[in-house]
Chains A and B, each alone.
Chain A
Amino acid sequence: MQPGLYHILFISGALFFTGVYGFLTRRNLITMLMSIELILNSVNLNFVAFNKYVWPGKMDGLFFTLFIIAIAAAEAAVAIAIIINLYRSHKSIDVENAEDLKY
């Protein structure tokens, strides 16, 4: 059968929550970054799906997806840079070792 809007939305939703779950639970910074990528990708799926099923004709959703991918890359780049720096100073990329700033 033909996958409909809701299938895709379901998948994207699942992806979103997977991402959120990963972000909340993983201890490794890189993994957390990856789970953010999951979130973004779920958003991409959303856009594409909406564009295809609900609002065909205009290409807004697709464009948006492209830009999101680009931005995600940029974000990742900076994030990685920062994480590397963190590794230099903390000798670890475990989020639990970077909790001096509190209260």
Chain B
Amino acid sequence: MPGTLLIALIPLLPLAGFIIAGLFGRKYLGRSAGYLGTALMLASALLAIYTAYSYFTAPNGGEYPKIKVLDLTWLQFSDHLSINMGILLDPISVMMIVVVTLISLMVHIYSLAYLKGEERFPTYYAYLGLFTFSMLGLVLASNIFQTYIFWELVGVSSFLLIGYYYDRPSAVAACKKAFIVTRFADLGFLIGILILSNASGTLDFDTMISTLTSPETGAAQKSVAASFLGFSALTWGAALVFIGGAGKSAMFPLHIWLPDAMEGPTPVSALIHAATMVVAGVYLVARLFPVFAVCTPGVLEMVGWVGAISAIIAAIIACTQTDIKRVLAYSTMSQIGYMMFALGVSKYGGEAGLGYTASMFHLFTHAMFKALLFLGAGAVIHYVHSNDMKDMGGLRKQLPVTHLTFLIACLAIAGVPPLAGFFSKEEILLAAHHHNMAIYWIALLTSGLTAFYMFRLYFSIFWSKPYQPHGEHHHHGSVLMTGPLVLLGIGAAFAGLIPFGHFVSSDRIPLASHFDLSFSVLPVALGLLGILAAMWVYARQSDRADKIAAAMGGLYKSAYRKFYIDEVYQFVTKKILFNIVGRTAAWFDRTIVDGAVNMTGTATQKIAAGIKKIQSGKVQQYAVYFLTGMILLAVLFIYLLK
């Protein structure tokens, strides 16, 4: 194993990049900030790979250990509750740091070309550094509160990156939306943390899991735990934590921010909104998987269904969108839905834990091909200066490399063997098939749709009509852009061949990867069907698409309008929260509370004005008051207070 320092450097190097670029970038570094960031990222990626290699190859007694490399007390709440800053190495975290650093590195390189000549170039790299740091901190966290901290940090860095073009109102709106929606989910996460920590008496992942899952303490816990609305506190805790995850991972119904987040620069979408941050939710559930699986199977069930529903809905919507990045965004959502329900249908330990492995596996492969898709789309947009399919078509001549890699990615995601997506998806379907048929069918349907919309995208970008250039100059991406594409393409092609189950499994005991040809006929067939359909409709220019759309009628329209979920949110926030609650509060403050204060003032003055008459200026009247006062006193003391 590499030393603590080296491992600690993995997140710290990007941080250093952030600090340097952030403080001195604008004035002194300029463009070199990008190269600096990339160099640091490269170093960190190498360290990560080295760590992963040595972790998985290190001798272990048939079970991968959980190594707490570092555990510093950051904030001591009380005797047993404390936030620790730690580094926890176990299969998933190691796998994640590899993914994160690699994709981030690719994006760093790619952006050097993609954002050439941007005024805030250094700032951009600073943000990238910040994001990578936070993401690594998140995946390495050994303490649930540490996770929360970095969870927030990735949120804010994604906010900054979405709002990178801060002078575009749409970008501003998008970043605010993204932050607030995820923030809302984080609220759930926070309360969940409070409940879990209170139930387990610790914030440390290991201890928490062991306390909650171990038969005696866990059972005792469940019995004493206060129940609310008929569910045990623990159930609530797990559910709330999952809501946090759902928010980050854009699960239905908290997914609305993801499509808008595409306002950010495309490489950012590739990094954050495809490969890494959005899977944080999946990672979180995986991290606490024992708790979910052992203590609160009901919640796990919910996870499964939420995943499935998100998958199918996203897939349907994706079929109708024309903005290529939005299509990709919905596909991301749908794929994450896969991962989620894969976890949902899994059990803890042994063969039953297949779904867990599958989910992680899919996370891994998806990172590759989805990043690739985005970067490819980026290249296209870079070339066409538009996000809309209508402005594209026939680009395969102009962008050969992009075309090829994009094709690979599409095949991969469509689950065509022997590409990466095929294997992971097979495992997921298998797991679903074992434990929950309903979800299995949904998943099948989704995979068919996936193939369809991906190839709809592919054809309408690179085929359909011959490309007629319009608008200003086109620049072909330099090698800085094509390089990452190729590398990721290789990844997307061959990542699936890794015997993943051997490394990652729910109980960290290697799992034989079983692969059953007969089972995978159906999904592959569906996939191919989808592809053919897409080809029939979109391969060359025709009005078939519109005909189908017309035939679909209401369904198409509502799918096109994303099932009006945004509108619902609009209504709730604008109308109810702002207009009703907010205005009332402001009004109440101004009129009632403040009014009361002012009223006392005016009342006093009124009284003062009222009684001024008694000072009439007549001596004799004064004498009368004098006498009355005197008589009153006399009466009071002689008769009343005897």
Contact = CB atoms under 8 A, between A and B. Distances in A.
Interface stretch (B307-315, B319-327, B362-370, B614-622): B614-622
Contacts of A25: 620
A32 B624 CA distance: 14
B612 A103 contact: yes
A23 B624 CA distance: 10
A45 B616 CA distance: 34
B623 interface: yes
Chain A at the B interface: mostly helix, strand, loop or mixed?
Answer: helix
A99 B618 contact: yes
A102 B623 contact: no
Nearest to A23: B623
B624 A24 contact: yes
Interface in B591-622: 612-613, 615-620
A47 B564 CA distance: 103
A99 B618 CA distance: 6
A95 B623 CA distance: 13
B627 interface: yes
Nearest to B614: A103
A46 B475 CA distance: 122
A20 interface: yes
Interface string A74-103: 000000000000000000000110011111
A103 B615 contact: yes
Contacts, number: 26
A102 B622 CA distance: 11
B617 A23 contact: no
B620 A23 contact: yes
A101 B624 contact: no
A84 B623 CA distance: 22
B627 A103 contact: no
A20 B615 contact: no
A102 B612 CA distance: 9
A25 B627 CA distance: 14
A34 B617 CA distance: 21
B620 A24 contact: yes
A28 to B, nearest CB: 12
Contacts of B624: 24
A100 B619 contact: no
B62 to A, nearest CB: 101
Interface string B387-422: 000000000000000000000000000000000000
Contact of A100 (B617, B620, B627): B617
A24 B626 CA distance: 11
Interface in B188-213: none
5 contacts: A20-B627, A23-B620, A23-B623, A102-B615, A103-B617
Interface of A: 20, 23-25, 32, 95-96, 99-103
